[in-house]
Structures are given as C-alpha cells and as structure tokens.
Amino acid sequence: MENHLKNLRAEKGWSQSDLAEQLDVSRQTVNSLERGKYDPSLPLAFKIARVFALPIEEIFVEEAEDKK
C-alpha cells in the first residue's frame, strides 16, 4: 500500500529514528512502511495518524485508488 509517510516525516523534519521512537517501532519498520513494503495493522495506522494529526486516508492510499 502506498502512503505519504516519507513526505509527511520530511515536512516535520524528523528522521526515521525520531518517528520510530514516537511510534514505538524499530527504524527498519518505519523504513518498510515508507517504502510500502509493509502494511501496518489498524492500531499502528491509527497511531501514525495521531502522530501526524491527520486522518488515516490522508496518509495511506487505498489499493483501488492506487491503480487509477
């Protein structure tokens, strides 16, 4: 699943480690999320949304929308 995590993180001026610390995950997990290699669970997706103060759908791109 595609997402805007990398851009959102860059806008905040955070490193992957900074974001990992806030999400309580490893830096490698943040990297996998950003590259779309790993789809987060619903609780983690909500946590990400909370950290960026954005709705989930503004961070993650739906698969169908992705193919358009």
Exposed e or buried b for every residue in 8-38, given b needs 16+ CB within 10 A? bbeeeebebeebbebbebeeebbbebbeeee
Segment near other proteins (CB under 8 A), from 6-14, 24-32, 54-62? 24-32
For residues 12 and 65, which CB has a smaller minimum distance to other proteins in the complex?
Answer: 12
41 binds other proteins (CB under 8 A): yes
Residues forming the site for other proteins (CB under 8 A): 17, 20-21, 23-29, 32-33, 37-38, 40-41, 44
